[in-house]
Amino acid sequence: MGEPEIRRRREDDLSACVEALATVHEVDRYPAEWPADPGRWLTPDGVLGAWVAMSGPDVLGHVALTRTDHVLAAEAGLPPEGVASVARLFATASARRRGVARVLLDTAMAAAAAEGLRLVLEVEDGGKAAIALYERKGWRHAGSRPGDWTTADGRTALLHTYVAPAAGTR
Ligand SMILES: CC(C)(COP(=O)(O)OP(=O)(O)OC[C@H]1O[C@@H](n2cnc3c(N)ncnc32)[C@H](O)[C@@H]1OP(=O)(O)O)[C@@H](O)C(=O)NCCC(=O)NCCS
């Protein structure tokens, strides 16, 4: 497989993104519950942009940027108007450990930096690969709180807040 092409998600990419997401749900239970409308789930309220990693017609990965709610901004210790959130980040199971998520995250971070926004995100405790990725990229753990759902392995969800390094420090 060559280098994936990273580009903005188009409307007509959505069904391929949903197919890719289904493989991630199967393997990782991400999302924990399969949504009634997965295309809508990939386009959350307050979405600022979404990008895909493509290999020909195949979606290898996906990321979105959204506005940040007050709770998450407060958890991150940052003013809500100065932050955006990373959401809906995944790489398909067959495309793992090839830097797909890293380049998607870089793309989201560059887009946020261009708007003068700092990035934050929440990750559930079971997302060990994602946590390793964020820590490798220099994101800082800012706090943790219980979520309002039960994970596939029967735990109360535990959400960790991470804050991206400030632009220019990466
Ligand atoms: C987390 C996820 C997006 C990583 O995707 P990926 O394309 O395989 O990640 P990359 O290849 O870009 O990895 C970059 C770095 O992150 C870290 N990393 C990624 N996956 C890892 C794993 N399984 N174990 C340990 N470290 C890992 C490594 O430091 C890696 O660099 P290296 O391969 O040079 O060691 C992918 O595993 C996934 O889709 N998981 C399910 C969905 C999910 O949890 N999304 C995040 C929700 S917050």
Ligand 1 within 6 A of CB of 25: no
How far is the centre of ligand 1, averaged over its atoms, from the C-alpha of 129 (Å)?
5
Ligand 1 within 6 A of CB of 102: yes
Ligand 1 within 6 A of CB of 101: yes
The yes-or-no verdict on residue 25 having pLDDT over 80 is yes
pLDDT at 3: 86
Mean pLDDT of the chain: 95
pLDDT at 125: 96
CA nearest to 150, candidates 129, 124, 131? 124
Ligand 1 within 6 A of CB of 1: no
pLDDT at 86: 98
Ligand 1 within 6 A of CB of 64: no
For ligand 1, atom 25, name the residue with the nearest CA.
129
CA nearest to 64, candidates 43, 50, 45? 50
Residue 88 has a CB neighbour count (10 Å cut-off) of 20
For ligand 1, atom 24, name the residue with the nearest CA.
129
| Start-to-end C-alpha separation, the chain | 28
CA nearest to 161, candidates 138, 147, 140? 140
Angstrom distance (rounded) from CA 20 to CA 2: 18
For ligand 1, atom 42, name the residue with the nearest CA.
90
Alpha helices (H) along the chain: 14-28, 38-41, 70-76, 100-114, 128-136
Q: What is the pTM of this model?
A: 0.96
The yes-or-no verdict on residue 82 having pLDDT over 90 is yes
DSSP label of 80: G
Ligand 1 within 6 A of CB of 70: no
At CA 119, angle to CA 78 and CA 152, rounded to 5?
A: 105
pLDDT band at 2; cut points 50, 70, 90: confident
pLDDT per position as a tens digit, 121-156: 999 999 999 999 999 999 999 999 999 989 988 999
pLDDT per position as a tens digit, 70-79: 999 999 999 9
Retrieve residue 27's tokens.
């393997």
CA nearest to 164, candidates 142, 145, 138, 143? 138
* Cis peptide upstream of residue 165 (ω within 30 degrees of 0): no
pLDDT band at 168; cut points 50, 70, 90: low
DSSP label of 92: -
Domains of the chain: 5-163 (3.40.630.30)
pLDDT per position as a tens digit, 101-126: 999 999 999 999 999 999 999 999 99
